[in-house]
Amino acid sequence: MGAEQCLKAVKPLTNDIGDAIIDHAGDLIEGFIDKQLLPVELIYKVWGKVKLKIQQDPDPKIYWLKNPGPAVWNGESYIMPIVDNTTVLPRDHHVYLFVHGIENQGINDAFEFYKSFEKEAKMFYLEDDRRSFKEIFIVSYNVKMSEEIKNTILDGFAKVVEDIVIGQGPLMLAAVFWKELERRAIKTGNILIPFLSKMLENYNTGYVITHSLGSYVMAHAAHQAIRSNPNVLKLFNVWLAIAPAVPCNAFANPNDGDNFSLAPGICETYYEGSRYENQFGMKIFYSSNDIVLNTAYTLAKGYPAMGSIGAYARGRIYPFKNINVTRQVGTTHQTSGDNGYFHLIGPRIRLILGTIIEGAIDNKLENMCLYENKENCKSSPILN
């Protein structure tokens, strides 16, 4: 039996083990809730008090970044027109679609989200002919907690516990806010569905990069788009779902919660062990120590997030790959800075995108992985 056949034989067992771990985590959280060790009931009660008061229009927009290289690497002002019904996409170009997560609002935050990714990905660091075929689109929506919303939630806590609330407890506030965040994410996902159809009409393909709640936005959009038009299947080569704030069973079919079972089908099929394994398919980056997903998300949903434990594989319709980066990112959830997700998994991002930079510290390792398909890629402390 060859190596590829061995991998195919072992893969179902690997999925079963992963699913068993997720089952155990779900049971553990349910046990904590039953024993009132997690204040989920308190969060629900406060949510009931404030949900209508904190509703806002997320004001979703898709921006087309016209000068990614100069804006990021040369310090030029960004040029980002809004995509609307009249926008014509260049035919056959590669689309890179970015969807940010929580605590972002407006065009500046959208650009900064992309900028922090580009600083690690280095897609436009070098001058080359491929640049003209890469188009950057960034989704912007309001998921920032204002002072008014903070005060409203604090007042909700005070009414539920019948006492004055001292301090702010940002993760508890975020837990109450989360259902509103998901409502805004769905509204944002709805504007992406026509954009995906526009890509299909112009023979575009490419990559989608989502973080945190942005993965919820994309999961909703992809699932609904495929339901209404199966031709959008395999529209993207790769989907990088980084710390996804999505229920860990959302891609299982059927499930008893948020059902996005068709969503992974938006990108090309991933084959374990293929020499093109890195260049295709959905990749879910998760850390079991993620501070936001293990606290605010779990309190809000009463169930683990994909970004803290991976995605449940049993019963899935389309394949995906869970990538455990706990050792690299630890408790991190944010994307920017030296301790941000993008920097900490930078070598793997460049591996997937194929952006090798002359003189980079990990240049030798990345070259071996990309062009020689060496086994040590899988065991490398840099890439795993």
Low-confidence winner among 14-28, 62-76, 107-121, 155-169 (lowest mean pLDDT): 14-28
Q: Dump pLDDT digits (tens) for 204-226.
A: 899 999 999 999 999 999 999 99
Residue 42: predicted pLDDT: 85
| 73 CB neighbour count, 10 Å cutoff | 15
Residue 252: predicted pLDDT: 86
Tell me how far apart the alpha carbons of residues 125 and 2 are, in angstroms, rounded to a whole number: 40
Low-confidence winner among 101-105, 194-198, 310-314, 371-375 (lowest mean pLDDT): 371-375
Tell me how far apart the alpha carbons of residues 311 and 266 are, in angstroms, rounded to a whole number: 16
The whole-chain average pLDDT of the chain stands at 82
* Tokens 């941000």 found at: 340
Instruction: Judge whether 19 and 312 are in contact, CB under 8 Å.
Output: yes
Residue 9: predicted pLDDT: 40
138 phi, psi to nearest 5 deg: -125, 130
Tell me how far apart the alpha carbons of residues 183 and 123 are, in angstroms, rounded to a whole number: 33
Residue 199: predicted pLDDT: 94
Q: Give the tokens for residue 230.
A: 């199966």
Three-state DSSP at 9 gives: helix
Q: Dump pLDDT digits (tens) for 116-153.
A: 999 999 999 877 645 668 999 999 999 999 999 999 99
Q: Give the tokens for residue 71.
A: 């804006």
Closest listed residue to residue 325, CA positions, set 303, 309, 305: 309
What mean pLDDT comes out for the span 360-378?
43
Residue 240: in which H helix or E strand, if any?
A: strand 238-242
First-to-final CA distance of the chain:
27
Residue, of 166 and 181, whose pLDDT is higher: 181
Angle, in degrees to the nearest 10, between helices 147-161 and 170-201? 130
In the chain, pLDDT over 70 holds for what percent of residues?
76
Tell me how far apart the alpha carbons of residues 189 and 184 are, in angstroms, rounded to a whole number: 9
Residue, of 136 and 10, whose pLDDT is higher: 136
Cis, bond preceding 254 (omega within 30 deg of 0): yes
Q: List the Cα angle 331/337/341 in 5-degree steps.
A: 45
Residue 131: predicted pLDDT: 61
Tell me how far apart the alpha carbons of residues 59 and 142 are, in angstroms, rounded to a whole number: 6
* Per-domain residue ranges of the chain: 3-353
SS3 content of the chain, % helix, strand, coil (to 5): 50, 10, 40
Residue 138: predicted pLDDT: 98
Residue 59: predicted pLDDT: 97
pLDDT above 80 for 227: yes
Residue, of 320 and 2, whose pLDDT is higher: 320
Tell me how far apart the alpha carbons of residues 330 and 290 are, in angstroms, rounded to a whole number: 7
Three-state DSSP at 136 gives: strand
Low-confidence winner among 4-13, 109-118, 310-319, 337-346 (lowest mean pLDDT): 4-13
Instruction: Judge whether 113 and 211 are in contact, CB under 8 Å.
Output: yes
Residue count of the chain: 384
Tell me how far apart the alpha carbons of residues 221 and 137 are, in angstroms, rounded to a whole number: 15
Q: Dump pLDDT digits (tens) for 82-92.
A: 999 999 999 98
Tell me how far apart the alpha carbons of residues 27 and 118 are, in angstroms, rounded to a whole number: 39
96 phi, psi to nearest 5 deg: -115, 110
Low-confidence winner among 35-44, 141-150, 240-249 (lowest mean pLDDT): 35-44
pLDDT above 90 for 323: yes
Residue 37 — pLDDT band, cuts 50, 70, 90? very low
pLDDT above 60 for 175: yes
Q: Quick one: DSSP state of residue 102? A: S
Q: List the Cα angle 273/279/283 in 5-degree steps.
A: 80
pLDDT above 70 for 317: yes
- Give Cβ neighbours of residue 288 (< 8 Å, ≥ 6 apart): 294, 308, 309, 324, 326
Tell me the pTM. 0.84
